[in-house]
Amino acid sequence: MTPKQTPIQTEKLLAAIYVRVSTQDQAQHGFSLDAQQDSLINYAKALGYEIFKIYRDEGKSAKDLTHRPEMLQMLKDAEEKKFAAIFVYKLDRFSRSIKDLILTIDQLKKWGIDFISLQDKIETASASGKLMFHIISAFAEFERNIIGDRTTFGMNRKATEGGFITRAPKGYKLVNKELMVDEQQAEEIRQIFKEVIETDFSLSKIARKHDLTTPGLIKLLKNTTYLGKVKFADQESEGKHPAIIDKQLFEQVQNKL
C-alpha cells in the first residue's frame, strides 16, 4: 500500500500596497484610494503575492516623504523585510520628486525589496526590471556625489571665510553659530598650556588633574583653534573668533610634545 503523500507547502510572497491621493488630485482628476487599492490588490494576487498590508496616505502631497506617515512606516517595514515587494498605482503616487524616487528605490534594492508600478509597467523582479535597478542605482550614486560635492564646497567656503566648522572645543561656546570665548574654561586652557611648559608634570598627570584622558589632552594641545584659526580638509584659515593661546606659547608646547 502506497503511503499517503503530504502536499508540499510553498511559502507565498508578501506584498505591500501603497496608495496616496491628495485633496487636489481628488478634486481635479477623480483619483480614488479605493480604486487604486482594488487594482493593486488584484494585480499583486495575479502575480502570486499575498497582501501583507495596505498603506494609505489620504490628502497628502507628493512633494516629499517626510510628511507621509504611512509611507514612512512602509519603508521602516521594508527595511525589516516584512514583505518582498511594494506595489504602487503610478510613480507619481510614490513621489513626484525624481531625486526622492531614485534614492528610495535604490534603497529598496539594497534591502532586497522589489518595486512594481502598475500604470507605468515598471517592475524590478524581471531581467529588464533588474536592469532598471542598475540604472536607478547609477543615478542615485550620481546624486549622492553631487550632494557630497556641494557639502564639501560649502564647508570649504565657510572655513576659508573664517566660519567655525564643528562643535565648540573646550574654552569656547557657540552663540548664534559664532564661536565665543568661555572665560572660565579659557583660563583652564591657558593653565594647561602653562603647566606643560613650566612644570615637570607628565602628560598623564596633567590630564588626570583636568579630568582628561592623555590622548584627549594631546589633541587639545595641538588644536589650532586656540590660535584663532579654523581647519577643514587639511586647509587652515584665520578664524573670526579670538585666540585663547598666544603663538609663542603654542609653539613651545608643540616643541615639547
Please give the DSSP secondary-structure letter assigned to residue 48.
T
Closest CA to 129 of 141, 145, 111, 117: 117
Q: What angle do CA 44, 45, 48 make, to 5 degrees?
A: 95
Alpha-carbon span 158 to 175, nearest angstrom: 17
DSSP secondary structure string, 167-193? SPPTTEEEETTEEEE-HHHHHHHHHHH
**CB within 8 Å of 221: residues ≥ 6 apart:** 192, 193, 196, 253, 254, 257
Active site residues: 22
Q: Are 223 and 236 contacting, i.e. CB atoms less than 8 angstroms apart?
A: no
Integer Rg of the chain from CA: 30
Alpha-carbon span 25 to 60, nearest angstrom: 10
Query: CA-based diameter of the chain, in Å?
Result: 101
**CB within 8 Å of 163: residues ≥ 6 apart:** 177, 230, 239, 240
- Three-class SS of residue 85? strand
